[in-house]
Chains A and B, each alone.
Chain A
Amino acid sequence: MRDVSCVTQDDIRNTRYQKMLSDIIVSPAPHIGEPRSTRRVMIDVIIALVPAMIAAGYFFRIYAAILIGTCVISTTVTEWLCNLIRKKPNSLDDFSAVVTGIILALSLPPSLPFWAAVIGSCFAIAVGKMVFGGLGANIFNPAMIGRAFLTVSFGMLMTTWTVPATIDPAMPRVAPDNMVEARTQATPLAWSKLAIKDKSGAKIYSGRQFKATVTGEVAGCLGETCTIALLVGGLYLLIRRTIVIHTPLAVLLSSFVFAEICYRINPNAYVHPSFHLTSGGLMLAAFFIATDPVTRPLTAKGMWIFGAGVGTITMLIRTMGKYPEGVMFSVLLMNAMTPLIDRFCKPIPAGGKPSV
């Protein structure tokens, strides 16, 4: 048998054939694909964060603009610089740095000076993401890495809570009287912390406080106060199928169960579960931070475990820890567990494990 060329002289004279051959592309199947891209996923997250950003702007006015702007610019510039140093192609067009910037900004106290936000953003991108190899390779959520760095570096600044601009500073309405100063007031979670000590949970939490924690008219991080805005954004992500329901549901359910048990044991010391769900960073974490695909497990079972871990550790810190809020630490802890959870939840093929 001899190898003969497939193309005869006639074919070569056939111009149409030549034209056809010159343009043909060969690549593995499938040859079509969904229009969704990584960039589109990130843009979806940004769109979903818009309600929370609007709420932040409404309650904290100029603080919101400064913090969000500073964080987005510094995360973007940091990523660009890191790529330059690593001699890697520019990766800004996937918009993941913008997402990190916005989430970091929304998880910072409104009055944080802009230079601290710059430091946090640089740390988030450079150490939280780029040293691991960039998008998809990081172990921890970059925004939470940045926030943790700020928390340990600038403890005082990170626990100064501005009163929302919609509340007249002279007329503190929501927070208990002993926890109000002129321009700052304690966050709802600080009230609950005090309640555990004073056994006054029932006193500090009523319908009025619940309404405030749902609408966001309380002190707290920039984007975490308005539960409604976060729910709207989360719903958008779910409808767009950018995230799946497992993680947020597991976070909310586990913290609800934990809070409910505490509340049943001692309703005086521990506040009602609805308070825990609506205040602090729980909603932000459930829909935007714990659902960060890079740092959560891959399988549905893994996401349930991960979400339950985030919710439970958050509630452990809130009820028994020294800090009033524990979302950041619980997300980072569970991020560290993700490779283990992934290994534990390896999917089994539809046909069962091979017998060989």
Chain B
Amino acid sequence: MKIDIGGKLTFRGGVYPAEKKSLTRDSEIQPGPAVKQVAVMLSQHTGAICQPLVRSANLVQAGQKIGDSDAFVSAPVHSPITGKVKEIALRSHSVLGRSPAIIIDAYQYTPSKQPRFDLADEFDENRYSPGQICDVIRQAGIVGMGGAGFPTRVKIEPNPQMPKDTMIINGCECEPYITCDYRIMLERTRQIVAGIKLARRASGCSRVFVGIEDNKPEAIEAINAALSRTGNSEKVRVVPVKTKYPQGGERQLIKAILNKNVPTGGIPPMIGVVVLNVATAAAIAEAVLADLPLTHRVVTVTGEAIANPGNYNVAIGTSVRGLIEFCGGVTKKSAKVILGGPMMGVAIADLETPITKTTNAITVLTKEQIGQAKFDRRQTPCIRCGRCLRACPENLSPTKIAHAVKNNLLDVAESYYINACTECGCCSYVCPAKIELTGYIKTGKIFLARQKKMIPQ
């Protein structure tokens, strides 16, 4: 396919980890575990934490808003089940540590529902005003479902200071093992296309591209077919980008499609671009057309240690343990339970950690899977081979930054642009000395933010 928009379909740096998507790529989205209790985190997004709107012993309905915030950059949370609030307690959060969650007991086991969605392909998105769509997106609690969880309303609402003209729908899913976006593209194509139309209407973008890695030809075909069926193939273009990690990072995707660099420390709207995940697009359609708040999401449960890997539509608030047991528990000796994929996911120790809006996968790896990288050989000193520099998609010096952090020289780390790091993990992945470069850089960023009093001690 000829691309006349400037992008070279790829970006500088990156790595090629084994895809391992075959474990789950052919398993259809199944209903997730029936739940008796859920723990809905009050912070499932980037931005202000929600205040609970219910108290213990209150009765809640499925889809009822139970937490919200007045802040602009925030998103409300909803109960996925009908039941009674047990308490508001602390639960493990993959980023924030211990964080408050609303614990809801159902009267009986509530099966996870597939979103009902029987909308005709033909609908007129102009029935809705942009303001209306933005309001529904906000009220439905929709956040970026690719990982960062940035509130979608804030992203797509037109902003006079940063006019947007291009929207990119991200269906890359470059992370190994994960297939939830791939299945959504195959099975919820209509939702995605409807969501694209609505998001386009709301944001006022004139150009829309759907970026999908070229290792998913079926998804490219499905989206293309749905677009031409609904007469949108002129307005929306599917761009098959090259398969390379981290192609799904928004900065890398913008580079691959538009050949533009998002300024360091900046965000895509600065260059007039907004990037939405395919799952987010589907959630927008479900919210606007079917009035469904974001209470369920598709989670890939995968990894060599899982008995029945697959893609499941899971109630947000389900515990990781519940989901793993639902998938038959672990077969072999599990070594690591990861929220997300093996490149950027967070290894968790507490299996009661609830699924949040941004949990796209649970990957359980065996010692063999991680062994080669982390256990067989001890860490050696950096031999300055420079592989991390060549792998870095942001063109940084990971080894220089990591060693500055290690020696507590935060000013040096800053002079090597530590905050430009997107924490994609390519540097640690390629390091022959097995140095946890990404870990050091993450730590350094937290230290710097503390030093500047951006976050509390």
Contacts and interface: CB of A to CB of B under 8 A. Distances in A.
B71 interface: no
B334 A20 contact: yes
B380 A350 contact: no
B263 A351 contact: yes
Contacts of B377: 37-39
A2 to B, nearest CB: 7
Contact of A34 (B98, B345, B429): B429
Interface in B227-276: 251, 255, 261-266
B300 interface: no
B369 interface: yes
A16 to B, nearest CB: 6
Contact of B261 (A23, A94, A350): A350
A32 interface: yes
A348 interface: yes
A31 B365 contact: yes
B120 interface: no
A26 interface: yes
A4 B430 CA distance: 41
A86 to B, nearest CB: 14
A198 interface: no
Given A27-B374, A29-B345, A349-B394, A354 B265 contact: yes
A6 B92 contact: yes
B407 interface: no
Interface string A273-303: 0000000000000000000011010110000
Contacts of A6: 91-92, 350, 352
A20 B330 contact: yes
Contact of A33 (B91, B349, B390, B434): B434
Interface string A1-37: 1111011000100001100110111111111111111
B94 to A, nearest CB: 10
B55 to A, nearest CB: 12
Interface string A194-233: 0000000000000000000000000000000000000000
B382 interface: yes
Contacts of B325: 16
A11 to B, nearest CB: 8
Interface in B356-382: 363, 365, 369-370, 372-374, 377, 380-382
B149 interface: no
Interface residues of A, number: 55
A346 B425 CA distance: 21
A95 to B, nearest CB: 11
Interface in A121-155: 133-137
A41 interface: yes
B342 interface: yes
A34 B373 contact: yes
Interface string B319-339: 001001100011001111110
Interface in B399-421: 399-400, 415-417, 419-420
Given A2-B89, A33-B373, A354 B400 contact: no
B215 to A, nearest CB: 18
Contacts of A350: 11-12, 251, 255, 261, 264, 393-395, 420
B100 interface: yes
Interface in B434-452: 434, 436, 438-439, 442
B106 interface: no
B283 interface: no
Contacts of B429: 30, 32-34
Given A25-B347, A30-B429, A351 B389 contact: no
A347 interface: yes
Interface string A81-104: 000000000010010100000000
Contact of B335 (A3, A25, A28, A134): A25
Interface string A58-69: 000000000000
A26 B334 CA distance: 12
B428 interface: yes
B92 A354 contact: no
A31 B429 CA distance: 8
B447 to A, nearest CB: 14
Contact of B90 (A1, A30, A35, A355): A1
B384 A136 contact: yes
A32 B347 CA distance: 12
Given A34-B373, A38-B380, A351 B89 contact: no
Given A25-B336, A135-B381, A355-B265, A30 B342 contact: yes
Given A24-B335, A26-B347, A35 B394 contact: no
Contacts of B345: 29, 31
A207 to B, nearest CB: 40
A351 B439 CA distance: 22
Given A32-B429, A348-B395, A1 B89 contact: yes
A33 B416 CA distance: 24
Given A34-B429, A353-B264, A137 B344 contact: no
A293 B351 contact: no
Contact of A135 (B90, B383, B393, B420): B383
| A-B pairs with lowest CB-CB distance, top 10 | A33-B373, A28-B439, A30-B425, A136-B381, A351-B264, A6-B352, A349-B420, A38-B380, A31-B342, A354-B265
Given A3-B89, A29-B340, A347-B389, 13 more contacts: A1-B89, A25-B336, A26-B348, A27-B374, A28-B436, A29-B346, A33-B428, A35-B372, A38-B434, A133-B381, A349-B395, A351-B262, A353-B417
Interface of B: 11-12, 15, 17-18, 87-92, 98, 100, 176, 251, 255, 261-266, 321, 324-325, 329-330, 333-338, 340, 342-352, 363, 365, 369-370, 372-374, 377, 380-386, 389-390, 393-397, 399-400, 415-417, 419-420, 423, 425, 428-434, 436, 438-439, 442
Interface of A: 1-4, 6-7, 11, 16-17, 20-21, 23-41, 91, 94, 96, 133-137, 244, 293-294, 296, 298-299, 346-356
